[in-house]
Structure 1
Amino acid sequence: MLAQAIKRRLSKEENQKGFTLIELLAVIVILGIIAVIAIPMIGGIINNSKKDADLATARQLYDASRMYIMGELDGDFKGKTVTLETLKDKKYIDQTLVLPSTKKSLSGTKTTIVYTSDGVLQKVTLDPVPTGESGEYPADKVLSAEPTPTPTN
């Protein structure tokens, strides 16, 4: 009798296909918990990458201004203010440079790289102002940014 009951039970389990409602609900709850945790983390990563891209643009402008001053002004950095417009006119920077966080074109006259009277970088100012930033990057922040690699053709 016990053997017959076990056979009936096993035969019923072999014919059953699919998931129970409880199993499906458990999976949905687990996926919901994962989504609640992951979505804010992804948002933070995106915001940080936008800020890093804007800082990399400031570093790119600083590097271009150094090349401009070395090539056009005989290396006299003292008290100089270089505008994006000058760098574009002299072809030290791409004509279509945009701010990565907003995808807006940088203003040629308001985007500046300023050197102190000692010839040391003071700040890089970006216009339009990046989202959530002041638009001014002090020298230590710009110089700590990794230089953007030059693409090879």
Structure 2
Amino acid sequence: MRQAGSGPTLVMVLAVGVFFGTGVILLLERSLTRILLGVILLGNGVNLLILLGGRSGGAPIVGTGPVAEMSDPLPEAMALTSIVITFGLTALLLAIAYRSWSLTGNDEVQDDLEDRKIVELAERNEVAATDVGGDDHADDPEQVNPAPALRRLRRRDGG
């Protein structure tokens, strides 16, 4: 592998770069399956990066060898934690992809209606409606008049 005290090998650093690059590219896709694979690759890249940050050596158990030749246990513990978190996120995304597949027949993420409106406005070089501000509902058409809801609450409470 590598000698104690030497830095990470070029192959490992390139592997981290490939994992991160491929993972980010897959995360930008619209298919939930590709997004899932991107999360898995990013998780593996993070694990490898964490392990590259530690010192290599013998088992970190007191009494088995000199302390200077022991590996650092913190990156190993962090990598195990990262594996568990990545597994949980993978299970969640897999469930979401399966649910999307069972409901719609495909796993493509659809555009939101608001996203489509923003794209249409951008194509026409228009600006969305500005917030005119104000605390009163009469001054700002975006504000909702709270009076009807308060009247319903008072009637329910008997007041």
Provide TM-score, normalisation by structure 2. Answer: 0.23
Specify the structure having the higher radius of gyration (Cα): 1
Decide which structure has greater helix share: 2
The structure with the greater share of residues assigned to strand is 1
